[in-house]
Amino acid sequence: MTQSWSDRILGGFRKTSARLSLNLAGIVGKTRLTDAQLDELEDALIMSDLGPAAALRIRERIAEHQFDSGADEQAIRLVVAEEIASILRPVAKPLDIVAFPRPQVILVIGVNGSGKTTTIAKLAHLFQEQDYSVMLAAGDTFRAAAIGQLKIWAQRLNIDIVTGPEGGDPASVVFDAVKEATQRGIDALIVDTAGRLQNRRELMDELTKIRKVLGRLNPEAPHDVVLVLDATNGQNALQQVEVFQQMAGVTGLIMTKLDGTARGGVLVAAAQKFALPIHAIGVGEQLDDLRPFDADLVARVIAGVA
C-alpha cells in the first residue's frame, strides 16, 4: 500500500515529534508555566533538533501565553505548533520560473549523497508538469557515474542534457548548456555541480568559475542557487548551509529524505537560523516525491497536533 503524503511527512518528523512528546509528557500548569517548566520545555525543543534559537523563541511565546483553561500537554502543543508555523511560513517559497529572458538557470549544489541528482530529476519533472520546457547540464564532471546517472534521468524524463567528458571543465559544459537553452527558448536549465566537500578550495574555485561564465552570458544567471540537504544528517546539515553560503551564495534550500529516519526538526533550526527560502522537501526516491513545503502541516506534525 502506498503511503499518503501526510503519512510520509509523519515518517520524516516522527523522531522529532516523538522526542518532543516524551519530554512534554507530565508538564501541567495552571494559567502560566513556571520557570522550571519552561526550562524543561526549552530543553525538550533543543533535544528535538529544533536548535537553541527556535527553542528560545518558542519558550518565550509559551511564557507569555495565558492558558485560560489550564496548561495541559495539548494546550502547550497548540502554542508550540503555532510558533513553529510562524517560523516556517516566511521561508516556504516554491521555486517559480520567472526569468526573463529565458532560461532560468538553477544551479544545484550539495554534498555527494545528499540526494542532489534525484532532486534535479524531481525538479525537472515538477517543471514539466507545469508545462515548462527543461534542460539539464551535467556540471559534475568529476565522476563518470554522476554524468551517467543524470543521463538516465534525462532519458526517463525525455528532456535534453548537455554533458562533457569525465574530468572536463564544468564551466564549459555550463557555457554550452546556457547557449543551447537560450537559442531554443528553454524555460528552465538545471545545472548539476560537484559536491566533494573534502576539497573545498577546488570546489569553491569550480563554483566561482561556473558563476563567472554564467554571468558573462546572462548577468542575472544563476537565478537560483539551490542547496540540497539530507535531513538524516541532523545538525550537520546546518554546517553545510554555512559552508555552501560562503562558497556559492545559496538562494534557497531543498531538504531531502524526510520520509525515513530523518530528524526533521533540523528544518525549523535552519529556517530560524538562515531565513533562506525552503522551496520543497523530498519524501522518497520517485519522481513525484518532491513536495511543496507546507509550513502549517509540518508545524502541526512536529508539535504532535496533526
Ligand X SMILES: Nc1nc2c(ncn2[C@@H]2O[C@H](COP(=O)(O)OP(=O)(O)OP(=O)(O)O)[C@@H](O)[C@H]2O)c(=O)[nH]1
- Report the binding-site residues for GTP: 110-117, 192-196, 256-259
C-alpha grid cell for residue 196? 566533494
Residue of 18, 148, 96, 107 lying closest to 280 (CA atoms): 96
292 binding ligand X? (CB under 6 A)? no
- Least distance (Å) between residue 187 CB and ligand X: 23
**Of 110 and 277, CB closest to ligand X:** 110
Find the part of the chain contacting ligand X (CB under 6 A) among 27-35, 57-65, 89-97, 276-284. Answer: 276-284
**Of 41 and 241, CB closest to ligand X:** 241
**Of 42 and 259, CB closest to ligand X:** 259
Q: How many CA atoms lie within 13 A of 222 on its CB side?
A: 29
Among 170, 252, 282, 304, binds ligand X (CB under 6 A): 282
C-alpha grid cell for residue 88? 516556517
Cα separation, 247 vs 223, whole angstroms: 16
195 binding ligand X? (CB under 6 A)? yes
Strands 252-256, 290-292: pairing is unpaired
**Of 45 and 280, CB closest to ligand X:** 280
> Where in 89-108 is the site for ligand X (CB under 6 A)?
none
x/- track of binding to ligand X for residues 114-143 (CB under 6 A) = xxxxx-------------------------
Residue that has been written with the C-alpha cell 567528458 in this structure: 165
> Where in 252-271 is the site for ligand X (CB under 6 A)?
256-257, 259-260
- Looking at residue 233, the DSSP 8-state letter turns out to be G
Cα separation, 244 vs 134, whole angstroms: 25
- Least distance (Å) between residue 256 CB and ligand X: 4
**Of 46 and 203, CB closest to ligand X:** 203
Among 11, 264, 284, 304, binds ligand X (CB under 6 A): 284
165 binding ligand X? (CB under 6 A)? no
Cα separation, 58 vs 52, whole angstroms: 10
Q: Residue 75 CB: number of other CB atoms within 10 A? A: 17
Among 45, 146, 241, 270, binds ligand X (CB under 6 A): 146
Helices of type H across the chain: 5-24, 35-47, 52-64, 73-88, 116-129, 144-157, 170-183, 200-217, 235-248, 266-274, 295-303
Residue of 93, 96, 112 lying closest to 104 (CA atoms): 96
**Of 38 and 203, CB closest to ligand X:** 203
Beta partners for residue 229, in sequence order: 255
- Least distance (Å) between residue 265 CB and ligand X: 17
Could you list the residues that contact ligand X (CB under 6 A)? 110, 112-118, 146, 149, 195, 256-257, 259-260, 282-285, 289
